[in-house]
Structures are given as C-alpha cells and as structure tokens.
Structure 1
Amino acid sequence: MSTEKKSEILLVGLGAIGTIYAYVLQASGLANVTVVARSNYDVAKGSGIHIKSLKFGNHPGWKPDNVVASIAEAATKQYDYVIVTTKLVPELLTTPQLLEPFLTAPYIDSFEQPVYVLAQNGLEIEQDLYDAVAALGKTPKILPCALQIGCSLVDNVVEHLTGENIIIGFHRPNDYLTATNTADEQATLDDLTNILKTGGSDARGVPDIPRYKFHKNVGNCTLVSTTVLTGYFLSAFLRQPPTNEGDYTEYLHPRNKDKVEQYTIAEFKGLVKENLDVAKAIGFPSTADCLPPTMADDTIATMRGMFANPAVKDGLMTSTQRDCASNLPMEVEVILGSVVRLAEKFQVDIPRIRMAYAMILVKQNQIFRLKGVKA
C-alpha cells in the first residue's frame, strides 16, 4: 500500500464544472478534497449529486470527501491548491474579496499561501489576486486555466457528455508571450496535472497559458455577443428545418433565410476575426490547435455539423444567455470588457465587439437594478 502523502485541495464552487472536477480530483486517489458548496450545501452533505457523464460514468448520490458552507469555514488548515470554479462578476465580487479568509489573519499567521487555480471564464482575471498575495510578502502562484467542457446542473443532476480538457499555466504579470516554464513552475504543473489525469481528465500544463485562454475566450466572446443580443442559440441561424416534424423546433426559417445567411453569419465571422486581430497585435502565434486563421469558418462548420444531428434537441443555451434570461448577473467584463480593454491597449479597432459590449452593459445594468444591487 502506498504511503505517499495526498495533496490537500480546496475547490470553491459546486456547480456543474465544480462537481465534475471535484469528482475527478477525488477519483484520482491522490488528493483529499474539500468543497465549498454554498447554495447546494445541504444536498452535497445529504443525498449527494447525481453525475451522469459519458466520460466519467454514472454516479448517483456522489459526495465530496468533505463539504463546508463557506470559505471561512475551510480556511483552517494548509492547502496545496485552492481551485476556484465560480462565476466571476468582478463588479459585484472580486477574487481577493471571495478568498479574503486566505489573505488575512488568522490564516496568514498560521499557514503558507496555497497555489491558486482559477478555473474560470474570461481574460485578465488573475492580476488582482496576484497583487493581493504579493502584498503579503509572499511569492504568488496563480494558475489560470482554459477549460473545454460542456455540462449542466439541473435539479441536483450534473449532465456531461464526452468532451473535456483543461489547460493550465502560470500567470506572469504583463507577460503574454513567455514560452518556457522555470523548473519550479513545471514541477507544480506536473503535480497538478498528474492528479487530474489520474482522475480521468484530459489535463496538460503549458508555459504560454495566455494564448490558450485567449483562444477559449474567442468562442465565449462570440457566442455571448450573439446569444445574449438575439436571445437565441446558434441553432436559430445555422440549423436547417427538420426532416421529421417534431425532431426539434428551433431552426432557420425559410422566409428570410437568405438575409440571415448573408448578414448574420458574416457578422458572426466578423466577431471572430476581430478577436483574432487582437490576438495578432498581442503577438500570439497562430497554430492549428490554437488561434488558427480559419477559426471563424471552423466554428461555423462545427456548429453546422452538430445541428445536422437530429438527436441534438432544442434548449441549448450559453450560460451567459441563461443568466440574462433569468435576470442574473453576467460575466460581461471578463469575457467582453477584457477584449475591449486589450484592444485599446494594443490599438486594435474592434467595432463589432465594442458594440456588443456596449449593448450588453445596459442589460447588465438593469439586472443590477432589478436585483437591488447597491451603488
């Protein structure tokens, strides 16, 4: 029997993605996993969550090793990694505010700072936490992630198909282009990705994580712009009418199909191209697997292929589209605003993204009003 010491890992947020990765970490057998579950604490402690995944299996009543109701409750021991999977709306709560119990006494008087892993959407999300750790006189270790996974959590059931991968790397302030890791950085990445891979994840560490984060955000930026402003998923302008009535109900109606194909799809591709223009100005290399010049056409072709399958039913939504429809705060700043600010920094003209950002800001503003958010 192995006597190798297990890593101590805290995962913050037991939504769909948090549940999948808490399961992966626990399944590895290499980590003691504690989860902060706020809204679903009673379920996680009681009957558990039903995981239905074609990749990771069917697990009724799955529970983490240890569940707590708050970060403050968790901040009582040394952790190797603190993994954050929550939605990020910095207008309401910044990451240092979320993790305050780890950045203040008594924790900082008794324990070393953990490695912080930000498994969240968006760009430029790491610096405020980096600064907060540095202000303690500690060397910050902040690992942003680029995730490709589609899963949902409804009525305590997490549904996930087969697609999943996570790319992880070190945040370096104002450094977008470093292409090598130090020995210490590589050792940390090797340790964390080994735990994830042992648990069944397709995980890898890279030295140039900003490039992969940007690649992921191209899709998010384009999909959020399109779905939030129209209120429809891409099936509304890419899917052909069903051959058999009742297969699905959301598709491109023949009446003005030609105009949608002429204008809407062109503007969708234009959104992708503007993102790629910013990537080029930053200096990111273009490769087949990351920021390829064919990304706009590739995205459309992939979506058309998906919608050609009648088994793909109605109801697909981006998480931000779902938030908007439910009058919940959206990840506007980290997905769209970050691209606008990078474009300003690198002097790139992105009129489509700026327009989308400007209009969705109004929706966000009114959600704040409806929720009674304090000024």
Structure 2
Amino acid sequence: MKEVLLVGFGAVGALCTLTSKSLSRSGIARVTAVARSNYGIVRGKYSLCLTTRRSRVCNTVASAADQAYDYVVVTTKAVPELRLTPEILSPLLSPEYTNKFAQPTYLLLQNGLNVEKDLYNAIRKLNQGKPSIVCAALYVGTNLAAPNVVVTNDLVNHFSQRESLFLGIYRHEDHTTSANSADETALLQDLGSIFQRGGSAITIVPEIQRVKFAKNFWNLSFATFATLTGYTVPSLFRSPPASKDEQCNPYLYPITAELVQQHSIPAIKTTMKELLNRDPDNSHVPSMLLDARRSQPMEVEVIVGEVHIDMLYALLLVKQNQILGRMMAQ
C-alpha cells in the first residue's frame, strides 16, 4: 500500500481524492488529503467517504507530517507573490520531519512553467540526495463552483489523441536528455499505476517540459484573453458566414493569397490543432478568469511571466496588483 499525501483540496484535489477517477479508488494507495480553507466542509461532508477508502483529511500540512509518504501530490495554485511551494510544504522539509523520514517523490499538478525550481532547491539544501520531482501536464475542465461543489465538463474529450494527464521526470537545468533511465521509468510507472487503477488516463513521456510548454501555450492563449475581456472562450470565436458568397476576408493580391493558402494557412491550422485544439462551443470557465471574477490571486507569473509575453503580462499585472492590494488591506 502506497502512502500518498495530497496538498490542496480545490477542484483538482477533489477530483484526485473523491471522484470515480481518484487516487483513493486505486486500491493500492492510502491518501491523506490536506484541505486548508475548506477543511470543515470536507471533514463534515466527506469524512465517511474518505474513511471507507482508508484515507484521511487534515487541515494543515503540519498535522499530516506525522508519517512517511511515498508520494506528495501538490494541487495548489502556483502564486509566488503569496507563497512559494516550499513554504506550503515546509513541515515536510523541516529537521523534525527529515530526521525521522526520508524525502518522498513530489508530483506537482500545477499550471505554469518552472514551478519546480523552488522546491528542487529547497530539497537540495537538506543534503538528503537528489530531489525526486515528477512534473505533470493536466488537461481537465473543472472548477470549484462553491466550497463543496466541483463542476466538470467534457473539455478533455475535445483533445484529439490526447489523454488527460502527462507525467515526466523533472531534470533541473537539463534541457537535452530525452529518454528515461530504467530507474526513472520504474518510478513513473509506479506512480502512474496509482492514477490508472484509480480510473485516470495517463501518458508517461521521456521529456515533460515540451509537453508542459504546449499546455502553457494553451492556457496562455485562452485564459489570458478570457480574463482580460471578462468573457469565456466561445466569445473569442466567430460563426462562419451564412453564405459562401459572403466576403469575410481582407483583400490580398492574388499571388500573395495563393501563397497564404499554400503555406501560411496549413501552418496555422497545424499549430492550432497541436497546441490549442479547443472546441469553440465549450463553456468551460478558465480558472484565471474565475479567480479574477472572485478577486482571488491569479497564476500570472508562472503562466505569462515565464514566457515574456510583455503586453499580456503587463495588463494582467494591473488586475493582479489590484487583487493583491485589496487582500493586503483586509
């Protein structure tokens, strides 16, 4: 039986713990879930469900740091302006814990790029060997509509030939290795088996950063525009013209138009299919837009700041700074 600690009981954390595609349903994992802001609701409403699956719920990481874990799954949002991941996990990195227990493998189910760096450096300082961190790209359409209500949709079904969860080894400052070692393969298969037996579809990849970049591009393209406009993704698309004779394209010189059709349009469509692959009729509310509507801090730095899309970054910082300012004033 694998011991798994799940930190963060929002939409993704709840899916990992309670739904038909959950770690606790795998039969090979005992899950300890840390629910901070919604601990009372989770404890009261789902305590029987968790107990019958040989799992438990705690209100802090400190209260859960009473045993060894094989895996720590982090589903909190990465908002470095508020707290870094090592700060959230500090009880597991403290001398009181590390003197008793070995460090687990950490799985970061977080949006954005380079979310692993701070945790990697914090574990390195413990002098307990090379940090073991698994990266993930998670494709799932889910929102926490209320403290005890998780809404999901068929977003994943709109991805051609894609599974919902990609897993790969985090290799710090290593941008050339493109194959898993035997030990890395064994680790990923062991971790992946828990998700698979719980009902989730996973894909193990030899180099995860490319997959994470594609997922981040997807977030960057849609979540940011939705947040700045205040409208969900369908508003970014337009319906095709009612008549084939209706002019809806700018005029191009015939030779230029032929080159555009021959080279530019196929390239754009291929990029859209590979990186975006989004159904315009999907009604999912991007989490960044949902945070903005609720005046909650957004994942601006890790999604937009890491790729230096300066105009989007600057505009989103205006929203983010106002949200953080109101929080500080309370």
Displacement of 1:200 after TM fit?
0.6
Report what 2:256 is aligned to.
none
Q: Equivalents in 2 of 1:322, 1:98: separation in Å?
A: 23
Report what 1:124 is aligned to.
114
**Does the Cα contact within 8 Å between 2:75 and 2:109 map onto a contact in 1?**
yes
**Does the Cα contact within 8 Å between 1:176 and 1:211 map onto a contact in 2?**
no
One-letter amino acid of the structure 1 residue matched with residue 317 of structure 2: L
Counterparts of 1:171-250 in structure 2, within 5 Å, are: 171-238=170-237, 240=239
Specify whether residues 82 and 300 from structure 1 end up closer, same or farther in structure 2 by C-alpha distance, changes over 3 A only.
closer
Specify whether residues 26 and 88 from structure 1 end up closer, same or farther in structure 2 by C-alpha distance, changes over 3 A only.
same
The gaps in structure 1 that reach 5 residues or longer are 1-5, 50-60, 242-251, 253-257, 263-290, 341-352
Report what 1:9 is aligned to.
4
Displacement of 1:207 after TM fit?
1.6
Q: Equivalents in 2 of 1:166, 1:300: separation in Å?
A: 16
Mean Cα deviation higher: 316-325 or 97-106: 316-325
Specify whether residues 317 and 161 from structure 1 end up closer, same or farther in structure 2 by C-alpha distance, changes over 3 A only.
closer
TM-score using structure 2 length: 0.82
Report what 1:101 is aligned to.
91
One-letter amino acid of the structure 2 residue matched with residue 15 of structure 1: G
Displacement of 1:176 after TM fit?
2.7
Report what 2:159 is aligned to.
none
Query: Is 1:145 matched up with 2:132?
Result: no
**Does the Cα contact within 8 Å between 1:147 and 1:166 map onto a contact in 2?**
yes
Aligned counterpart in structure 2 of residue 48 of structure 1, from 46, 49, 52: 46
Displacement of 1:234 after TM fit?
2.2
Report what 2:58 is aligned to.
68
One-letter amino acid of the structure 1 residue matched with residue 74 of structure 2: V
Report what 2:14 is aligned to.
19
Report what 2:310 is aligned to.
354
The gaps in structure 2 that reach 5 residues or longer are 157-162, 242-246, 251-266
Deviations 1:56-82 (A, max 9, x none): xxxxx8436100000000011000000
**Does the Cα contact within 8 Å between 2:224 and 2:288 map onto a contact in 1?**
no
Displacement of 1:239 after TM fit?
5.0
Report what 2:270 is aligned to.
294
Cα RMSD (Å): 2.6
Displacement of 1:297 after TM fit?
5.9
Displacement of 1:184 after TM fit?
1.3
Q: Equivalents in 1 of 2:268, 2:131: separation in Å?
A: 32
| Secondary structure of 1:303's aligned partner | coil
Deviations 1:187-213 (A, max 9, x none): 110100011101110012222000110
Deviations 1:71-119 (A, max 9, x none): 0000110000000001110111001111100111200110000001000
Q: Equivalents in 2 of 1:10, 1:333: separation in Å?
A: 26
Query: Is 1:322 matched up with 2:309?
Result: no
